[in-house]
Amino acid sequence: MSDNLIYRRDFLQKLGTMSLGGFVANGLSAQAVGAQKKQGRRTWKPVSKRKVRVGIVGYGVCRFGAAFGFQDHPNVEVVAVSDLIGERRRGLMKACRCGNSYESLEMLVKDTKIEAVFVATDAPSHARHCMEVLNHDKHVMTAVPAVFGSIEQAEQLLETVEKTGLKYMMAETSSFRADCYAMRQIYRAGGFGRLVYSEGEYFHYHSKPIGSFKDWRIGLPPLWYPTHSTAYYVGVTGKRFTSVSCVGFNAGFPAYKSGANKYDNPFTDEVALFQTSEGGSSRMLMCKGIGGLVVERGRVFGERGWMEGTEYRGATKDLPDTSRPPLPPGVPAGGHGGSHGPLANEFITSIIEDREPMVNIYEALAMTVPGIIAHKSALKDGETIKVPQYTPPRG
């Protein structure tokens, strides 16, 4: 093999802060893991002493409102929280160490002390709630997806963000998973060249639906919830999907029988093949019917190299720093591969520095809307359909 290839050990030394699970899976000893982690450790440095006054809405089944560590961030003051259900609202107050609450988002956004809101409500309400926040002159971060099955809603949300000029960020967790973050840095440094092919996979087996507000998860079209997968192309390259052909599958669960769900959706699993603006192809899936499998992962294959998990092989010797930005002391990395804390930190830092957050409205829609189109393709037996384009205006 050519001497200019980078093998797993060299790459892991540069990654430094990759997940311990990734290190162990690749055969490094516990002692080596500690050495790699120490080598890659960077110290968080505050960019300001300012505290952004934040409101948090939504505790729910997943307790997401408190899961991103806003209450632990030194540049945040949690001013108020909200949940429609009293017991959950009190739980969110306790988890966020906040003594002030409102019975609804619509009430919370009227609080003039609040500068920014984290929307962790039910997915069908994300776009509507974000627009309500923005129209009350507040920045917003939302849980995924950005919109729920509606292209019209996407256009309305985009128009609202552009009109208000406020920060909008979608908290797509795969974007800050260690492997996806490293892929992005390597791509920007030219380590892959153009991507010939990429894959994003979100397997979430559950034969019985997860509990949800007004049962929104029951029978949900799989690729209406696509972003854990699509981030492994859009979030790596900043490029776009241009068209899609998608195939659906029914694993036979009761919620997906004819007439059993409000979406008229027959599919537990959807696998989409996209064409990309680079001229390549990308396979993205969301599957609930693969027995016992729950994982989010991706792979990228380019003209100059490829990467899967923690392994990069390519022609680039001098890789950039691929470790995720350090977190403030006391802020946990959190779930979904240690992405929660970095997402909250990115949102808050973007406000303080007055810059676009990493997953802004254009990237959020570019990750979300292709899944909506893919589902339409699956309902038409894989017909190829063009994907709407969302790109920021020049300048």
CA distance 97 to 78: 8
Say if residue 25's pLDDT is above 60: no
Say if residue 30's pLDDT is above 90: no
Say if residue 2's pLDDT is above 70: no
Locate 129 and state its tokens: 């709630």
Grade residue 208 by pLDDT with cuts at 50, 70 and 90.
confident
Q: Once rounded to an integer, what is the mean pLDDT over residues 207-216? A: 88
pLDDT (tens digit, 9 = 90+) per residue, 289-331?
Answer: 999 999 999 999 999 999 999 899 998 778 899 999 999 999 9
Give me the chain's average pLDDT, please: 90
Say if residue 134's pLDDT is above 70: yes
Please give the pLDDT value at position 310: 84
pLDDT (tens digit, 9 = 90+) per residue, 149-158?
Answer: 999 999 999 9
Beta-bridged to residue 313, according to DSSP, are: 306
CA distance 141 to 120: 9
Say if residue 26's pLDDT is above 90: no
pLDDT (tens digit, 9 = 90+) per residue, 188-199?
Answer: 999 999 999 999
Say if residue 354's pLDDT is above 90: yes
52-172: CATH topology:
Rossmann fold (3.40.50)
CATH of domain 174-324+361-386: 3.30.360.10
Q: Which residue has the higher pLDDT, 275 or 40?
A: 275
Strand (E) or helix (H) holding 116: strand 116-119
Grade residue 206 by pLDDT with cuts at 50, 70 and 90.
confident
Say if residue 40's pLDDT is above 60: no
Locate 278 and state its tokens: 């680079």
CA distance 28 to 10: 12
pLDDT (tens digit, 9 = 90+) per residue, 218-252?
Answer: 999 999 999 999 999 999 999 999 999 999 999 99
| Helix (H/G/I), strand (E/B), else coil: 317 | coil
| Helix (H/G/I), strand (E/B), else coil: 340 | helix
Q: Once rounded to an integer, what is the mean pLDDT over residues 247-267? A: 97
Q: Hey, where are the domains in the chain?
A: 8-40, 52-172, 174-324+361-386
Strands 101-102 and 116-119: unpaired
Please give the pLDDT value at position 42: 82
Say if residue 356's pLDDT is above 60: yes
Cβ of 13: how many Cβ atoms within 10 Å? 15
pLDDT (tens digit, 9 = 90+) per residue, 82-106?
Answer: 999 999 999 999 999 999 999 999 9
Q: What's this model's pTM, rounded to 2 decimal places?
A: 0.90
Q: Once rounded to an integer, what is the mean pLDDT over residues 23-33? A: 30
CA distance 10 to 311: 10
Among 137, 138, 131, smallest CA distance to 152 is for 131
Please give the pLDDT value at position 394: 81
| Helix (H/G/I), strand (E/B), else coil: 31 | helix
List of residues 6+ apart from 274 with CB closer than 8 A: 233, 241, 242, 243, 244, 281, 282, 283, 284, 370, 374, 387
> What are residue 394's phi and psi, to 5 degrees?
-70, 140
Percent of the chain with pLDDT over 70: 89
Owner of token pair 């859009």: 234
CA distance 269 to 298: 17
